[in-house]
Structure 1
Amino acid sequence: MGKGMGETTFEALKEKALSLPLKPGVYLMMDREGTVIYVGKAKALKNRVSQYFHDQAGHTEKTRAMVAQIDHFDTIVAGSEFEALVLENSLIKRHKPRYNILLKDDKGYPYIRLSVRAPYPKFSIQGRMADDGARYFGPFGGRHDTQAILDALRAALKLPSCGKTFPRDQGKERPCLNFHMGQCDGYCRKEVPRSQHDQAIDQAIHLLEGKFSEVEKDLRTQMEAAAENLEFEKAAALRDRLRAITLLGKRQKVVAGFLADTDVLGLYVGTVRSVVAVLHFQGGELAGRDLEVFPTAGEPVEEILSAFLVQYYSPRGILPRQILLPENLEGAADLSRLLSHQAGRKVDLVTPQRGAKADLIRMAQENAKTECERLTTRAERTAKVLTLLAELLGLPEPPGRIEAYDISNTGASDIVAAMTVFEEGKPKKGAYRYFKLRDLTGPDDYASMEQVITRRFRHEIEGDGDFAHRPDLLLIDGGATHAAVASRVLAQYGLSIPVFGMVKDDRHRTRALVTPEGEEIGIQGAPALFAFIGQIQEETHRSAVGFHHKRHTKSGLGSTLEKIPGIGETRRKKLLKAFGSVKAIRQADLSALEEVLPRQAALSVYQYFRTNEEEGTCASSQGSPGAGG
C-alpha cells in the first residue's frame, strides 16, 4: 500500500481515481489527519472509487458527508474479489472507520469457559476466547442470557456453584445449603467419587454442543437400570435430572446461533436508526432472537446486510448451516465462502421468494420493524428529517417553519393559490392561507406566483397578524423559474429566505428540489426526506385545488341565487349565511325566508324555486340532457 499523496482538491482526487486499475481491491479513504474514515472493496477499483467524485446528487446522506471529509485515499490491489472481501473485513476491524457500518462493541457476546485442565473442571463466563487451554462454548447473545444458561445447566446436572476448589476443599466444611436443598450433589464431601463429577461435566459439554438427545438417552438408560436394581431413590434423582435437562433443551431464550441450524435475518431501515433481527431456528423450532441496532445513514440495503453478515458472525465459533436473507446480495458467493471457511463446513446464504422460508423472512422483518418503531419516537424521526434537509440544502440549522405555495386555475378566471405551513415538520393547518389572484389577463403561473409572494410578505411588513411569523424556508411547487420568481420578490423586500422549487416527474410525483439557479438536488437517496417533501407538495397541491373547487362551487351557487329578481350580492350572502347552502334555501318555507329577507324578496325566492322545480320535473319526464348540455 502506497503512502497517501495528500491530494486536497476534488478534481485531484477524481483524477487519481480515474488512474486506478480495473482490478479488484480495497480502498481506504482518509481525512486531513490521516485517519481512515472509510474502507470499501471493489470489483474494479477505478470504477468504484471514481464514482465518489462524480456528480454527487445521487449520493446518500452518509456518502456526501464522507466525501466532504476526504483529503486523500490509498488502495490495495487484491488477487480476487474474495481476497478483497477478507482484506476489507480485516481493515475494518483494525481501523473501525467512522463511515463504515459498525456493530456495537460494548454489547458483547459472552462465552461459557470450562477449565478442562483442572482436576475438577469449572464453568465461568468470559467476554472473549483466549489461548489458555480452556474450552469455550458460544458466544451467546448477552451476559444475562449466558448466565441464565449456565444457572440452568448447573441446576439440571447439580453441579456446584460455590467458590470452593476441589479436591483441595473436600471434607473441610459441612456441605452448604445448596446440597441440603437438592441443588448440588455435594462434591465437597470426600465420599463422592471424582468419576461422578466427570460424568456430569461430560453431560454438560454434550448439552452445550446441542446434543440433548444423547444426554437424555443416557440418563434414561441409567434411570431404568436403577429402577430394575430397586435403587428407587437413585432412579427418582435421575428422573428429576432428565426432566430438568429436557426443559433446558426446550429453552427458547438461548440467543447464540451455536445451537441453530438456520438463522433468519430481517432488516428494517428507519428514519433515525435501523434494526437487524436474527431468528435462530433449531430443528424447525425457534431457539432465540438477537437484535442489532445502529444509526441510519442512507446506506443501501445490500451494503447493510453484507457488513452485518461479516461483523456479526466473525466472532462466533460455530455458525448455522443456513442463513436466510431478505435480499439477494451481489457478493453472496464470496460471503458464503468466507463464512464456510470460518465454520469449517458449508454455510449457505439463501434468499427465499415464496413458501415457508419466505414466511420466516417476513417474521424476522416484522421483528426488526417492531423493535425499530419501539426505540424511535416521532420527534426523533422528524428531527432527523429536518436535520437531513438542512444539510442537503446548506441551511445553517433545521428549518422550524416551512411555507409551501401552489397555484390552481381553470383558465383566465378563478385563479387561486394556497400557502401551507409546516412547523417542526408537522402541518399547521390553522396557519394555512389562501389567495384569490387579481388583475391577471390569463393563466400565468409565474405572474401568479409573483403576486402571491408579494402579497404574503407585504402583509407581514404591514403588520398583518395572520402573516406575522416569518418562514425559515420557502418551497414552491414548480421548477427553477418558479423558485427564481419567489427569490426575486424576497430580494425586493430585502429578505434573505432560502427558496427551492419542488420538481415533479412525468407521473406528477415529487422528483427533486431545485435552486432558483436551476441546480437540481436529488432527494431519492434519502427515503424519509423524499417522503417528507412529497407530503408537503401533495398537501399544498391538495389545498390549492380544494380552495379552487370551493371557490368555483360558491361562484356557481352564487350565480343561481343572483338570477332571482331582487336578490343581489348582499342578500345572497345573507341567505347563504343563514341557510348554509342553496339546497336548504330551496327547501325553506316562506316564513323561514321572511326571517332573513323582506317579505317581497322572500316571496320572490320562494316562487323562483317552486317554479323551477316544476319546470325541472317536466323536463326530467321528457329525458335529461347530456353532461355537456
Structure 2
Amino acid sequence: MNNDRLPYLRNKVKKLPLDPGCYIMKDKSGTIIYIGKAKALKNRVSSYFRSVEKHTDKVYKMVESVYDFEYIVTASEFEALVLECSLIKEYTPKYNILLKDDKGYFYVKISAPPWGRITAEKQKLDDGAIYLGPYTSSFVVSQTVDETNKIFMLPTCNRKFPNEFGKGRPCLNFHIKQCMGVCRGKITEKEYQQVIDSAVEFIKNGSTQAIDKLTDEMMVASENMEFEKAAKLRDRINAINRITEHQKVIYTKADNQDIIGFAQLDKLTCAAVLKFRNQRLVDKDDYIFTDAGELKQFRGEFITNYYSSHTDRPKIVSVDGEFDDMPIIEQYLTQQAGHKVTLHIPKRSEGYQLTQMARNNAAQRLSHETERTGKEVAALDELARLLGLKSAPVYIEAYDISNIGSDTMVAGMVVFENARPKKEAYKKFSIKSQFTPDDYACMREVITRRFNRYFEEQETGRGFGKKPDLILLDGGKGHVGVIRPLLSKMGLGDIPVFGMVKDDKHKTRAIAEDGGEIAINSNRTAFTLVTKIQDEVHRFSITYSRSKHKATAFELSLTKVDGIGENRARALFKHFKTVKAMKSATCEELAEAPSMTVNTATNLYNFLHENS
C-alpha cells in the first residue's frame, strides 16, 4: 500500500465513536472521494485501514488515495442513510456509485410515402418523415416498433419499393406471415398506405382503440362482401390480442412494480431494472460497474442511489437476492416516494421468474462487455449463487480419477475459463504413490502435486502458477471431505471445492459439498455448465487411461523380444514416447536408444514390423 498516511489515519480512527453516522474520505487536495454511512463509525472506518491487501481493487485504490477523513454523527442509522444520499448528490465523489442519466431521446419514425417504413431512430431529421416522440426509453421505442411491424405485417427488409417489385423471391418473413410481401408487387400504394395509417393509429392510441377501429372496418368490409379485406383485418385484430393477452398472462401481478436483477463476471457487475406499469413491461435500465464487490452489500447501495436519482418510485421493488440494511432502505424509499414502498425478494412462482428475467437481462448486457454469450455469463453467475461463492468463478479446474487395473491409474485435469474449455491448460497425471485402486488417495496425490507446482510457479500466473476460482471433483462428498482439509493444510483453504455427483446412468445429478448435496436440476444454466464440465473431464481422463493401458500392454509385449526385459521396455517408451514413433524408427535409431545394442535393435525392428 503506497500511502504513508496510514499510521495517522489508524490513530485517528481510535478516537471515533461507536455511534451511527457518515464518514467523508478526502484526498491530498481536500477533494471528497468517498462518502459512506455506518451503524458504528469506529468499526466501519477502521475496516478500511486494516488488512488493506484483502480489499477489492476499487477499495484498495480509494484507501491508497485517502489523506484524511471527517465524520458526522447522526441520531440513527436511518438518518445516516438520508444524510449519505444527500451528501453524495451534492459532492458526487469519485468512488461512490454514480448513476448518470445519459439515455438521450428516441423516436418512432414513419418515413414519407409512398411505401413508408416504421423504424426506431435516435435522431429527428428534417427528411419529410413523421416522427413520434421524443421518448426517453430506447427499450419502449424498439419494442413498440417491433410489435407494430409484426401485427401489421410491414416490411423490415432493405428492399427499395417500387424499384424491386418482382425481383427475387419473398424473404422468410413473408413465409412465416410476419410480412405482407410488398416485394411481390401485388399490393397497391393506396392499400399499403391504409395499413400504415392503421399502424400509426395503434402506436398513438394503443390496442383498445385500434381494435375498435379495425373491428368497424372489418364489419363494413364484410357487409360489402369484401371478404379478403375482412379476413386481413380479422388477422390484425387477432395479432393485437395475442400480443396484449400474452403480456397480461405473464405479468398479471406486476401492476406498479420494478424488478431488479444483478449479474457478475470477473470484475464487472451489471444491474438491470425492469419497469412494469399497468401489467406491462414499459422500460428497462441497465448499468455496468467495475469492482462492485460482494452483491449482498452492493445491491443495497445500488437501490439507494438508483431511487435517489429517479423520481418514478413504484409501490413494489422486487430484488433477486438479499442485501444489507433492507428495512432502513425500505423506510428511506417510502419517505422519498410519499407512499409505501415495499422491498421484496420473491422465492417462487411468477415473482421469482421475473427476477430471473431481470438477472438474464443483466447477464446479456455483460456478455456484450466481455465477448461471452449471455448463457455463459448467466451460467457462471447462477453457479456462484448456487454454491455461495463471492463472485462468478471465471477459472474452474475439474479433476477425475480413471483406472483400468492398478497398472493404469491416472487422473485428468480440465480447465474452463469464462465457461469455455481451455484445452491448452489441460493436464494429465500418472499416479505414482498408489499400487492399488483408491480414488481418495489418488485424488489426494494429484491435488498435492498440482499445488506444489503452484507454489513453485505462482509468480508467473500461468499454467500451474494460476490459482483457480473453483475446483470441481468428479465424485461425492467423500472426495470433498478429503481435499478441503488438504488444501487448508497447504494454506489454500480459500479455494472453493465441490464434487460432481452422477446418477446410476452416469449423468450429473447434484453438486456435493462437505456433509451434503446441492440439487442443481432446477438451475438450468448452471446444470448445463456443470454437466459439460463433468462430461469433459471424464472424457479426457478415460482417454488418457485407455491410451496408457494400450501402451502398457504393448510395453509388456516387447518383453517377448530377445534381449528386452521390463526395464529396457520401459526405457524404450520413455525415449520414443509413443508406439507410432517407435515403429517409425529405423534399425539404427532403435540402436541409439538408451541401453540398446545393435543385435537387440535388430530383433526389435523385426518384431515391430512383423506385428504391424
Using the size of structure 2 for normalisation, the TM-score is 0.47
Larger radius of gyration: 1
Which structure carries more relative contact order (alpha carbon 8 Å, separation 6+)? 1
Using the size of structure 1 for normalisation, the TM-score is 0.46
